[in-house]
Amino acid sequence: MKGTNLGELEELVMLTVAMLFDDAYGVAIQKAIKEKCNRSISISTVHAVLYRLDEKGYVTSRYDGSSPERGGRRKHLFRVTMAGQKVLEQTRSMRNDIWDAIPKVAFE
Amino acid sequence: MKGPAFINWLLERFCDPRLLEGIQGDLEEKLHERAAQTGRFKAKLLYAFQALGFMRLKFLRKNSKSNFHMVNHYFTSAVRSIKKQRVFSAIHIFGLATSMTLCLLMILFYMDQRGMDKHNEHYETTYRVISTEYNENRDRDDRLARSPYDIPDRLKGNFDQIETTSRLRNVRSEVRLQSKVIEFSGLFAESNFFSFFGFELQSGNEPTALQHPNSIVLSEELASKVFGENDPTGQLIEIGEMGSFQVTGVSKELSGRSHVQFDALLSMTSQEPQTTWTGKDAYYNYFRASQVDPTSIEGFLATLRPLYPNDLQAGRGFEVQRLSDINFGTIVRYEIGFVTPNFVFWFLAILAAVIMLSACFNYIGLSIAQSLKRAKEIGIRKIMGAGKKSVIFQFLIEAQVTVLVSWVIAIALLMVLLPIFNDLKVLRDIQGQIDISVWSNASLLLYFLGFAVFIGLIAGGYPSWYVGKVAFQQSLKKSGKKAPGIVLRKSLVLIQYIASVVFIITAIVVSRQSNHFFEMEYGFEKEHLASIEIKDAPYEALRNELLKQSNITSVSLSSSLPALEVVPRIEVRLTENSEPRPVSTFSVNQDFLNNFDISLTMGENFRKGQKPNQKVAMINAAMAQELSLSAAHQLPMTLKSKSGPIKIIGVVEDFKYQFLFVESGPLLLTYEPEKFQYLNIKYANLENHEAEEIIAANWREFDKIHPFEISHYDYEIDDIYAEFEDIAKIVGLIASLAIIIACIGQFGMILHHVELKTKEVGVRKVLGSGVPQLVVLLSRSFYGLIVISLLIGGPAAWFLNKAWTSSIGYAVEVDWTIVTLGIVMVVALASISILWLTVKAANTNPVKTLRYE
């Protein structure tokens, strides 16, 4: 297992995978990130992040659902694992803790 | 719709099969989406780019990760074997690096020139109307960039497809502001100039800048010369004889090149349209049309020929030239600025390619020869399980490493050579300097790298294939005495020698030609002679004033300077019924013959106070011969010309009246004061600079405006032909490079040959063979090659040099002495390495070579 810390892009991709639930594959994730965050990420980068997450055990994947535009090829679909969910929650609570600890005067 | 097959093949090769389906699916889905938005081609291009994004280790097949280590190993072993064979590697790297430098220089030159006019957004749809005329010998057409003033209007009236037209006209004049006088060469241009030719203004209003009469747009350079730091817009300046002009703008310097080169643009409305168009101030006519067939326009232009009876003789006509054909096209005379004709480019490119190939041949020949030495290594590799492919790959990588090392050296050399190259007089004169910065240009670096890889494949391809195919049993056998690929290696050496012979003979011819120009009899006396350009000065008064000086012996007037310029020609009929033929003309006054020390052989000179416009002329001896004029009583005789009869009153001896590249043939010496441009001053007992002071002092009294400029004849003539000397130097340098590369290649071959025969030589010596016999034995086959190459290269060089010298008016004779000299030089150079190595081998003590037997 590589380090448990999540990179910013990794977190973003994982959240998107969770959002898309059962239809999370390369192109769909790229589009969702473009829509939600207005960030252009190349398709190869999306794939690279997904496989890295797979290696870390935060997502699982399966092949399903072909379409003619894909030349009859199936989609490589991803889903967040329990471990992934846990690490996401951890990251979020860690952030929340820090947010809570910010004294009011800091952001005035 | 699918992505490019090659890209898919790459992906299939590279990517982990477990991931492949998802990757290809995603890419294809995006392809479909893109195709709908931007079109198929762009979408496919994007597909390829995105696919390349997947070429990272993350997606690599698991089993091929071990290949990575293999590649690493190949590099290590390549570096080791290069280090091990120091001499041979040095030979390779030296040859490859020097020849690559030359090729890179050519690539730079090409890249720099190729961009000409590309900044024009209508590059593809802009055309120029040019005219054609017979050349002197009437065997082919010369192309001239100029055409009549009214062509654009006639075209527009007849072709609706023509979107817009534009005219240019040459003008050379001077800018005057207060006490400053600066000469410039400019163009009269129409108001659409900027949009038509893709130029921009730094200040001023583009649509109106050239609309009104007496408007002028200055180039940045001229503006800063005249006004310094001040803003020139709106200022009034005097232009030559044309009155005062208002500066309406300053043009921005182009980042690239254009064939339209100018210091200033004057509004076309400031000049009267000229009906003649064959003089110095010519019109250049352009049109733009996206949907038109140039041949249909040429057809229409052919019907216009009768409209120009005075300037366009029978058999002459018009052509349409694409803007993109102006640079690297066939040669066109009277071009606005400098462009590179295609033959110049091909000449340089072929030179560079021949030398590059020669270096590659060295690599091929020596690697194959060397492969014998490495047979054991290859055999063991094969036994250990290396396939044909991996052996080939190893040798290819070795070649690539060698080439890349040479490439790095070549780029360093290029950096050193570029300023020297740009400083050559020839290049400065034709504005051919390379002004591309190598480092800031990504595509250029890619070209360079691609070039290096390509050379690596050429050099390494055959040797590695050769090594790959040899079976291991054969390579491990001890008897590998016969050197492999002997026929191929010999023919490579042969080709190198042939090229060397051709190069060396050409270099000798070029340098002889350049000497020939220097030592030529001009037929007039060029020492103690100076010329000044008459501008507005009253030349008669100036002449009288100068003649009062005791050291100035004579002063004459002429329309051009003998031996420095090409003079205009007019058509005359030699007899009543003969075809008109072109004859050079030169306008002089009565003092010219005395001044230049040219003697009158028959008849009489012009008289003092000769009436102008009276059509009288003298001719030279060549012309007299054409007219079969042999006795003085035949004079005066009358010739017919377009502008009326010409009375011939005298015959002078032949002299070189024009630039020596063109033959000084039949000549008419006329008396036309309006054409006088130069005042020629002969002085005695004075150094050049003393004469200059005296003349300058007199000049100042008559012309207070123009800067004083004087040219001393002897200097001027040396200077103009020094250019040819520059070319001779370049060809000489390239020739010696070719020969050096061939020689070191041969050196390697002999070294190898001698190494193979070490034992044989030892045995022969023991049995009583003498040194001379052994030297003959060892060097026989090389001399055989040299003889064959001389038999082919000698005649080839002879024909080639005959061909190019025949186009020069005063060419040096390409005779057997030059060919022999070239052959002797090649044989001598080759013999140095052959004899050195073979004599050394023959002298080796057999005890040493046979010690282990």
Question: Between B756 and B68, whose confidence is greater?
Answer: B756
CA distance B649 to B641: 16
Question: Between B398 and B485, whose confidence is greater?
Answer: B398
A75 touches chain B (CB under 8 A): yes
**Residue B311: which pLDDT band, with cuts at 50, 70 and 90?**
low
Set of chain B residues whose Cβ sits within 8 Å of the Cβ of A76: 19, 21-23, 25-26
Nearest CA in chain A to B19: A76
Q: Do B32 and A69 touch (CB under 8 A)?
A: yes
B2 touches chain A (CB under 8 A): yes
Question: Between B823 and B659, whose confidence is greater?
Answer: B823
| Averaged pLDDT, B812-836 | 85
Set of chain A residues whose Cβ sits within 8 Å of the Cβ of B15: none
Q: What is the per-residue pLDDT for B472?
A: 65
Nearest CA in chain A to B30: A27
Q: What is the per-residue pLDDT for B753?
A: 79
A71 touches chain B (CB under 8 A): yes
CA distance B6 to B349: 32
Give the mutation candidate from B16, B23, B29, B31 for the A interface (greatest A CB count, under 10 A).
Answer: B29
SS3 letters across chain A: CCCCCCCHHHHHHHHHHHHHHHHCCHHHHHHHHHHHHCCCCCHHHHHHHHHHHHHHCCEEEEEEEECHHHCCCEEEEEEECHHHHHHHHHHHHHHHHHHHHCCHHHHC
Task: Output the CA–CA distances (angstroms, integers) from residue A33 to A8, A42, A48, A78, B690, in the order listed.
Answer: 13, 11, 15, 15, 85
Task: Output the CA–CA distances (angstroms, integers) from residue B85 to B89, B256, B372, B826, in the order listed.
Answer: 6, 46, 13, 28
pLDDT at B741 over 50: yes
**Residue A88: which pLDDT band, with cuts at 50, 70 and 90?**
very high
A44, A71, A73 ranked by CB distance to B54: nearest = A44
Q: What is the per-residue pLDDT for A98?
A: 93
Q: Which two tokens stand for residue B76?
A: 């290590």
- Range of weakest confidence among B211-215, B405-409, B463-467, B633-637: B633-637
Nearest CA in chain A to B54: A44
A2 touches chain B (CB under 8 A): no
Of all residues in chain B, the percent with pLDDT exceeding 90 is: 0
B25, B54, B58 ranked by CB distance to A74: nearest = B25
B426-446: pLDDT as tens digits: 666 666 666 666 666 667 777
Chain A closest-CA separation from residue B451 CA (Å): 30
Ranges B166-180, B609-623, B628-642, most confident: B166-180
Q: What is the per-residue pLDDT for B515?
A: 81
Question: Between A102 and B541, whose confidence is greater?
Answer: A102
Of all residues in chain A, the percent with pLDDT exceeding 70 is: 96
B751-798: pLDDT as tens digits: 877 877 888 888 888 888 888 888 888 888 888 888 898 899 888 888
- Cα dihedral B730/B731/B733/B738 (nearest 10): 140
Q: Do A75 and B25 touch (CB under 8 A)?
A: yes
Chain B closest-CA separation from residue A106 CA (Å): 43
Structure ipTM: 0.88
Q: What is the per-residue pLDDT for B526?
A: 78
Q: Do A43 and B32 touch (CB under 8 A)?
A: no
CA distance B315 to B132: 9
Question: Between B489 and B473, whose confidence is greater?
Answer: B489
Nearest CA among B14, B737, B690, B143 for reference residue B410: B737
**Residue A15: which pLDDT band, with cuts at 50, 70 and 90?**
very high
HSE at residue B596, side-chain half, CA atoms within 13 A, is 28
Average pLDDT, chain B: 80
B339 touches chain A (CB under 8 A): no
CA distance B622 to B627: 9
Set of chain A residues whose Cβ sits within 8 Å of the Cβ of B14: none
Set of chain A residues whose Cβ sits within 8 Å of the Cβ of B18: none
A47 touches chain B (CB under 8 A): yes
User: What three-state secondary structure class fits B181?
Assistant: strand
B548-607: pLDDT as tens digits: 877 888 888 888 888 877 777 777 877 777 777 778 888 888 888 888 888 888 888 887
pLDDT at B216 over 70: yes
B21, B32, B56 ranked by CB distance to A73: nearest = B21
Average pLDDT, chain A: 88
| Averaged pLDDT, B730-746 | 79
Q: Do B25 and A45 touch (CB under 8 A)?
A: no
pLDDT at A2 over 70: no
For residue B264, the cross-strand partners are B218
A45, A47, A69 ranked by CB distance to B23: nearest = A47
Nearest CA in chain A to B25: A70
CA distance B104 to B251: 33
Q: Do A76 and B25 touch (CB under 8 A)?
A: yes
Q: Do the beta carbons of residue B74 and residue B738 sit within 8 Å?
A: no
CA distance B649 to B604: 6
Q: Do B50 and A43 touch (CB under 8 A)?
A: yes
A48, A51, A71 ranked by CB distance to B2: nearest = A71
| Averaged pLDDT, B355-382 | 80
Nearest CA in chain B to A51: B58
A25, A48, A71 ranked by CB distance to B22: nearest = A25
Give the mutation candidate from A69, A75, A78 for the B interface (greatest B CB count, under 10 A).
Answer: A69
Q: What is the per-residue pLDDT for B96?
A: 87
CA distance B731 to B713: 28
pLDDT at B614 over 70: no
Q: Cβ atoms within 10 A of the Cβ of B799, count?
A: 11
Q: Do B21 and A74 touch (CB under 8 A)?
A: yes
pLDDT at A75 over 60: yes
Chain A closest-CA separation from residue B22 CA (Å): 5
| Averaged pLDDT, A54-61 | 89
B24 touches chain A (CB under 8 A): yes
Chain A closest-CA separation from residue B58 CA (Å): 7
pTM here? Answer: 0.67
